Amino acid sequence: MPSQTPLPKQYFYTFPWLNGSSEILLEDMGLLSQSNEATSVVNMIKKLFTEFHNLDQVENDLEYRITEFLKQCAESKEKFTTSTDDIIHLAMYPLLQIILSLLGNRILGNAMANIYAKHCQEELRSHSTSKQHGSRNKYNDYQIQSICHNLGLECLVTPRNMIDHIIYPFQMDFQSYLSVATKLTGDRWKLINRIFVKGKVNLIRDDVILLLREMVRNKTKPDYKAIDPELKKKIEDIPEISQILERVEKIVEQNSKKFTSSLFIADEKIEYELFPPCMKMILFRASQGENLSHNERLAIAFYFLNTNHSIEETVDIFRTIPDFDESIARYQVEFAAGSRGKGKKYKMYNCAKLRSFRLCKADDPKFGDRLCIQGGKRKDGTFQPIKNPINDYVFWKKVELQRIHRSQIPTTLDGSKTSQTSQDSVSSVHSEKTKK
């Protein structure tokens, strides 16, 4: 990669996800040459809140800005409401990463990544106007090239690169291209649909901006395992952090529809092991990047939303399918969850309906399950047919798994089981089911 002139400091204020942004922050705070102890995470957080504490002008108060931002995330807004070109904008970025890691809330984490990604796209597409030059791109092609290089993307400006009467002002190394494009859905991003010459992918400016947007989305997603429990405790004890966490909890509560879906059993999330064959097949097809039919999409969305999965987790299922569009998928899932429209939440299809859609996979060689074919075995030895993928299948699957578990419990010296009998397990699942 050819050597690059360093990025202007202003870029790090506007795009705090750039590599090297923390050095800029430390430098601005006069902490770059400080010892490791002085710049430990806990001390650094305290210093940031002290340095950017301004109750006379809340707009310049770090705690206020962070809370405002998290509110935007919780409300699924896609914009910053505070300044995006000053040092406080830079200072809040590492703190947001830490706070979201502490919270472990994927919905807020994804919303944060979405806001930073959209901001990057809008900023790079924006224009500046002056008397001398009129309106022109705020960031020229060479500045976009520098941002790519900062992020490790090998991309060069090629101003006179004309192919079939179209100018492609950028060429990106194919490995750099693939590292981002494979995360984007849609045929247009496949290498086969690109003008690919001598290991370089020829791109128009807007393609490079969209690739950067995706790169930023991935880069800004919090690492939920980054903070160990001991450090977590110390950070949570910092007064500003504990106040922010408290406020976020309230904001989440106020937006609870977004964060929860109806419960199959209170606080229990139905995991893959309990998924019926029909749903496993749809998930498998989605994971293979296959397009899903309308009925398959609805079925899996209804299933997820009715088994204690959040809207975010439900939207995630569709990310791998070729025609995925975040805003459309989110709108549809929120609609199905009752967060939009008339507020009606859709129930799961029953098995008869799924059969009529040819989605029942009871006897599929890979995913089929005897339980779906013969039904759940009752106390008296008769079988109860599976008529619903949640109410019946999940219930009887639990019974089955508990029976297997019981049969594996070693017997004691007097020959009795060390735990309750298999029949007891049916009762325990039953009582759990009726607790709803």
- 278 touches ligand SF4 by CB under 6 A: yes
**Helix, strand, or coil (residue 136):** strand
- 270 touches ligand SF4 by CB under 6 A: no
Rounded to whole angstroms, the Cα distance separating 143 from 248 reads: 37
- 393 touches ligand SF4 by CB under 6 A: yes
Q: Which of 87, 90, 360, 426 binds ligand SF4 (CB under 6 A)?
A: 360
- 395 touches ligand SF4 by CB under 6 A: no
Nearer to ligand SF4, 142 or 284 (CB): 284
CB under 6 A: which stretch of 37-45, 46-54, 209-217, 270-278 binds ligand SF4? 270-278
Least CB distance from residue 376 to ligand SF4, whole Å? 11
Nearer to ligand SF4, 123 or 364 (CB): 364
Interior/surface letters 360-377, b for 16+ CB within 10 angstroms, e for the rest: bbbeeeebbbebbeebbb
Q: Judge contact between 17 and 220, C-beta under 8 A.
A: yes
Q: Residue 2's Cα: distance from chain center in Å?
A: 34
- 7 touches ligand SF4 by CB under 6 A: no
Dihedral over Cα of 217, 219, 220, 224: its sign: positive
Q: Judge contact between 154 and 22, C-beta under 8 A.
A: no
- 299 touches ligand SF4 by CB under 6 A: no
Give 378's DSSP letter.
P
Least CB distance from residue 390 to ligand SF4, whole Å? 9
* Contact map string, positions 112 to 151, toward ligand SF4, x by CB under 6 A: ----------------------------------------
Subset of residues 197 to 256 that bind ligand SF4, contact rule: CB under 6 A: none
Q: Judge contact between 362 and 369, C-beta under 8 A.
A: yes
Nearer to ligand SF4, 9 or 387 (CB): 387
Q: Which of 109, 169, 222, 277 binds ligand SF4 (CB under 6 A)?
A: 277
Q: Judge contact between 127 and 109, C-beta under 8 A.
A: no
Least CB distance from residue 267 to ligand SF4, whole Å? 24
Q: Which of 113, 153, 372, 426 binds ligand SF4 (CB under 6 A)?
A: 372
Q: Which of 208, 209, 351, 399 binds ligand SF4 (CB under 6 A)?
A: 351
Q: Judge contact between 278 and 299, C-beta under 8 A.
A: yes
Q: Which of 336, 354, 399, 429 binds ligand SF4 (CB under 6 A)?
A: 354
CB under 6 A: which stretch of 104-112, 263-271, 359-367, 422-430 binds ligand SF4? 359-367
Question: Which alpha helices (DSSP H) does 184-289 contain, by range?
Answer: 205-220, 229-236, 239-254, 256-259, 277-287
Rounded to whole angstroms, the Cα distance separating 114 from 144 reads: 20
- 361 touches ligand SF4 by CB under 6 A: yes
- 376 touches ligand SF4 by CB under 6 A: no
Q: Judge contact between 59 and 82, C-beta under 8 A.
A: yes
Subset of residues 68 to 97 that bind ligand SF4, contact rule: CB under 6 A: none
- 389 touches ligand SF4 by CB under 6 A: yes
Q: Residue 163's Cα: distance from chain center in Å?
A: 38
- 276 touches ligand SF4 by CB under 6 A: yes
Please enumerate in sequence order all residues whose Cβ is within 8 A of that of 34, keeping only pairs 6 or more positions apart, or say none: 26
- 109 touches ligand SF4 by CB under 6 A: no
Q: Which of 48, 248, 362, 429 binds ligand SF4 (CB under 6 A)?
A: 362
Q: Judge contact between 393 and 269, C-beta under 8 A.
A: no
Dihedral over Cα of 62, 65, 69, 70: its sign: positive
Q: Judge contact between 144 and 209, C-beta under 8 A.
A: yes
Which residues contact ligand SF4 by CB under 6 A? 276-278, 351, 354, 360-362, 372, 386, 389, 393
